[in-house]
Chains A and B, each alone.
Chain A
Amino acid sequence: MNIDSIQNGIVIDHISAGRGMKLYELLGLEKLDCSVAIIKNVHSEKMGKKDIIKIDAEIPVNLDVIGYVDPGVSVNFIRDGVLVEKRRIDMPQRLTNVLFCKNPRCICAVEQELDHVFLLTDRKNKIYRCLYCETKAN
């Protein structure tokens, strides 16, 4: 299957097979006017199967969301058809307004203006806890 290479935009590569759609939704890519391709179950030497997302525009993407959903993903920034930067995205230490605290006893539950902040407290088990009340993210 062929998808045209992009001139100016972003390629999110090495997404674990099956997580492409979740990333698409969490990054809000459905709101874009530009071409966006989700390629699922692409053959990969390293991963067996992987998903890829190609965005045909230079837009800001929330790398924290990517690192949270699927650490190890590569984000390639393309300009004038040339790869200008490649970043491997690790689990972020801090997530702001990506996860939302559901603890009704948390200060977040009553103060609407507060950012919902989660901190990575256990990298091995990928556990994030609310900065304020330490409730574990689901």
Chain B
Amino acid sequence: MRHLIDIMDFSVEELQELIDTANDIIAHPEFYADRCRGKKLATLFFEPSTRTRLSFEAAMYELGGNVIGFSEAQSSSAAKGESVADTAKVISCYADIIAMRHPKEGAPLVASLNTSIPVINAGDGGHKHPTQTLADLLTIYREKGGFENLTVGFCGDLKFGRTVHSLIDALSRYEGLKVVLISPDELKLPSYVKKDVLAAHGIPYKQTTDLEGAMPQLDILYMTRVQRERFFNEEDYLRLKDSYILTPEKLQNARADLSILHPLPRVNEISVAIDGDPRACYFKQVLYGKYMRMALILKLLKEAGRL
């Protein structure tokens, strides 16, 4: 049984297959409007995440399928003490595929080990969020035409930012990648990512605190939010939350073909004055996320013999 728990569960070829399917859905949505007729997606959201949940639900509806589920742990059996494994076993009796968000790291993996239907990790704490990475990849592909020879700047919370770690993982398999890590000292990329991913693949990278200085060399700028929920200490959050705010002035030295991505939601790290700039891709990224989730649902249901 195939699941998507970590973006690295899929090969480069499989990611390309998803991108090709998503592009085909964008071009011919009518061909896909009925593909999942009679199928049910269970959205098991043990912590609130309106955007991700709605993206999955919209994806399934646009494929002609149905959605069941819950949007917070309090309205699930978890509130009564049911284990993730038991929840997964029960839900697999009702649905064809699961999308799970859980505050604890590894919960979707536990579900996948205890169910007979495909499980999609829709975010497990600060750990992984592979479908966000799918959205990021389709955005980069459509903006740049591929993944080779890109210089990608990651800015903001690179320590707790799971989307950053997953995207670095995914991009590490393409030729010619260069990475610029822009963060305050306290929120630097963890050393194991630098060692196990960047160094292990021979990817050149540099660390800096200077966003404007790094700007001219970037093909992609991946901005992130400093997330309050990842801090145990409120004081640390307040001290670091405004470390980087992207404004039109800071884009003065940026390339004309720069693409600005952000996993959203943003707070204030990208000025709304940039929203109209053709280089701003973060709302397109949301739309592409839905198409990649559609492609993913189709792939996993097909491989599970349910389509």
Contact = CB atoms under 8 A, between A and B. Distances in A.
A130 B106 contact: yes
Nearest to A130: B106
Contacts of B84: 107, 111
B104 A114 contact: no
A136 B191 CA distance: 12
Contacts of B104: 105-107, 109-110
Given A111-B84, A132-B105, A105 B110 contact: no
7 contacts: A103-B105, A105-B103, A105-B105, A107-B84, A107-B109, A108-B106, A122-B196
B109 A105 contact: no
Nearest to A132: B106
Contacts of B192: 136
A43 B83 CA distance: 52
Contact of B105 (A107, A114, A122, A136): A107
Given A103-B105, A136-B192, A111 B127 contact: no
Contacts, number: 48
Interface string A85-121: 0000000000000000001011111110110000001
A105 B126 contact: yes
A105 B125 contact: yes
A106 B108 CA distance: 11
Contacts of A107: 84, 102, 104-107, 109-110, 124
Interface of B: 83-85, 102-107, 109-110, 124-127, 192, 196
Nearest to B104: A107
Contacts of B125: 105, 133
Nearest to B103: A105
Given A103-B105, A111-B83, 13 more contacts: A105-B105, A105-B125, A106-B105, A107-B104, A107-B106, A107-B107, A107-B109, A107-B110, A107-B124, A110-B104, A111-B110, A131-B106, A132-B105
A58 interface: no
Nearest to B6: A134
Nearest to A108: B106
A114 B105 CA distance: 13
Nearest to A111: B83
Contacts of B124: 107
Interface of A: 103, 105-111, 113-114, 121-122, 130-134, 136
Nearest to B128: A134
Contacts of A103: 105
Contacts of B107: 107, 132
Contacts of A132: 105-107, 109-110
Nearest to A121: B196
Contacts of A134: 105, 127
B106 A133 contact: yes
A121 B196 CA distance: 10
A24 B103 CA distance: 38
A67 B106 CA distance: 26
B83 A113 contact: yes
Contacts of A130: 106
B192 to A, nearest CB: 7
Contacts of B103: 105
B156 to A, nearest CB: 20
A132 B127 CA distance: 9
B83 A131 contact: no
Nearest to B78: A110
Contacts of B196: 121-122
Contact of B127 (A113, A114, A121, A133): A133
Contacts of B85: 111, 113-114
A46 B107 CA distance: 47
Nearest to B125: A105
A116 B105 CA distance: 13
A111 B104 CA distance: 10
A118 to B, nearest CB: 12
B160 to A, nearest CB: 10
10 tightest Cβ-Cβ pairs between the two chains A and B: A132-B106, A133-B105, A107-B104, A107-B106, A107-B107, A133-B106, A105-B125, A105-B105, A106-B105, A111-B83
